Amino acid sequence: MDMDGDWPLPRLNNRFKVDRRPPGSSLSSASTIASTFASLATPVVAEAVQRARELSTQSEAEGFHQLRVAFRKLRALYWAYSPYLGEEATAQATEEFKRLAALAGGTRDWDIAGDLLKSAQASRASIALLVAAAREKRAQAVVHSQTMIKSDDVEVFLNDVLLRAQATLQSRCNDLPIQAFAEARVRLAQRALRKRSRRAARSEAAHEENLHDVRKAGKKLRYLLEFFQPFIKGAHGRTIKELTSVQNKLGQFNDIAASETLIRSASFNEVPPEVVQESLQWLEKQKCRRMRAASRRVRTIAS
């Protein structure tokens, strides 16, 4: 299936069953692998659908950001359950989650780039031209996102793909306990983070790709800990807090690196080339500084 094309969206009469009980009231280490899926997925789906609806009339930065986060969480959840969902079903769903997140992320990326350029403008007045151009790019991204992300289609897609997942899990692991499975998936995510952190730390010079890999692995682990806390032994609040802190540092670096790439790849017909080059030089200096800070945090994880 071409995942960059349209996902088949059957108009289902059934809806993914929403658990109306208070969060955590039905979740315990005695729950089964299959029974926990709906409880974990439902609030994330509800968040994604609500954010998609809001985007049709609103264009606030936070809305686009939270929609992208919701799809990232669903990708992590599908990875966790992939041993029972199967490789093909997992790949199809996660690729569509990724595509939708990218559509929401276009506006968010220009928000970040615009804010960084405003910081540069404080010492380089000429960059004001590029700040204005970035605002226009952001407006174009909003229109594109609103055109491509239809809340009804998103809701039907999510109901369809999650109902299929739930049916598959009920047929394959309806009686298997969640605790050992959840702990095994968390350990695998921990090993992946440690491996990527050590690879990044071994490099004499920091590499953007390695740091990006660490950031993605850290996000996956954090989301899994948040999902599976009711089922696994031990208190993981401190670990989640530490992962969030590391992610913030890596995120600051990623914002600079992504904004530099965004500006290099865009065309600005009304902005003199020397102004664009000036902004890129400023971003490059900021990127080097933030890369050093991010690398220090990664070495801490690796050790």
**What pLDDT does residue 302 have?**
79
Give pLDDT tens digits for 196-213. 999 888 875 558 888 999
Q: Are 72 and 101 in contact (CB under 8 A)?
A: yes
Is residue 21 included in any domain, yes or no? no
pTM for the structure as a whole: 0.85
Give pLDDT tens digits for 239-279. 888 888 888 989 999 999 999 999 999 999 889 999 999 99
CATH number at residue 259: 1.40.20.10
**What pLDDT does residue 3 have?**
33
Range 78-88 burial, b when 16+ CB lie within 10 A, else e: bbbbbebbeee
Q: Are 12 and 160 in contact (CB under 8 A)?
A: yes
- The whole domain housing 173 covers 33-302
- Separation between Cα atoms, residue 257 and residue 284, nearest integer Å: 8
Residue 4, Cβ density class (10 Å: 0-12 exposed, 13-18 middle, ≥19 buried): exposed
- CA gyration radius for the chain? 21
Task: Give the count of domains, the chain.
Answer: 1
* Statement: residue 10 has pLDDT above 50: no
Give pLDDT tens digits for 22-32. 344 456 667 89
Please give the structure tokens belonging to residue 75: 């990708």
Residue 177, SS3? Answer: strand
Residue tagged 């971003």 (tokens): 283
Q: Are 283 and 261 in contact (CB under 8 A)?
A: no
Residue 32, SS3? Answer: strand
Is residue 3 included in any domain, yes or no? no
- Separation between Cα atoms, residue 66 and residue 51, nearest integer Å: 7
Percentage helix, strand, coil, to 5, in the chain? 80, 0, 20
Is residue 89 included in any domain, yes or no? yes
Is residue 64 included in any domain, yes or no? yes
pLDDT confidence tier of residue 225, bands split at 50, 70 and 90 = very high
Q: Which amino acid is at 97?
A: F
